Amino acid sequence: MEAQYEVRTAGTADYIDSQAGYFSRVQVSCRECDARTGLTLTARGDDTQITCPAGHVTRDWRLGSEAVRDVAAAVADAGVEVVPADAEIQLRVPTRTEILPDYEDII
Ligand SMILES: [Zn+2]
């Protein structure tokens, strides 16, 4: 059984996508109700999920399991259970060679 990593946020978190000549910063949101605060980010193996305060569980390919694990480790180091709203959470977007269809409507 694979370990599960969880990051609970009081404020917002950002996807950081930086590749050659390209940089974007997009707030993580629930894909059902667009909530941007109070999200819980979980990673188990390569699978990641976003759970919003209303209980919606959605997925976003930009949320990489490695990024969740990194943030979870930093949160554990900081000794907090919920990342405070004034903290900055940056989640590096995994590199993709192809553009997925649902990427288009995000831009
Ligand atoms: Zn929601």
How far does the centroid of ligand 1 lie from the alpha carbon of residue 31, in Å? 7
How far does the centroid of ligand 1 lie from the alpha carbon of residue 17, in Å? 23
Q: What is the pTM of this model?
A: 0.85
- Give the pLDDT confidence score for residue 95 in this predicted structure: 82
Range of the domain at 29: 4-106
- Give the pLDDT confidence score for residue 102 in this predicted structure: 55
- Give the pLDDT confidence score for residue 105 in this predicted structure: 52
**Listed residue (26, 31, 24) closest to 13, CA to CA:** 26
Q: Which two tokens stand for residue 11?
A: 């404020």
Give residue-wise pLDDT tens across range 36-82. 999 999 999 999 999 999 999 999 999 999 999 999 999 999 999 99
Q: CA-based diameter of the chain, in Å?
A: 39
How far does the centroid of ligand 1 lie from the alpha carbon of residue 33, in Å? 4
The domain total for the chain is 1
Q: Please, which residues have CB less than 5 A from ligand 1, an ion? A: 30, 32-33, 35, 52, 54, 56
**pLDDT band at residue 83, thresholds of 50, 70 and 90?**
very high
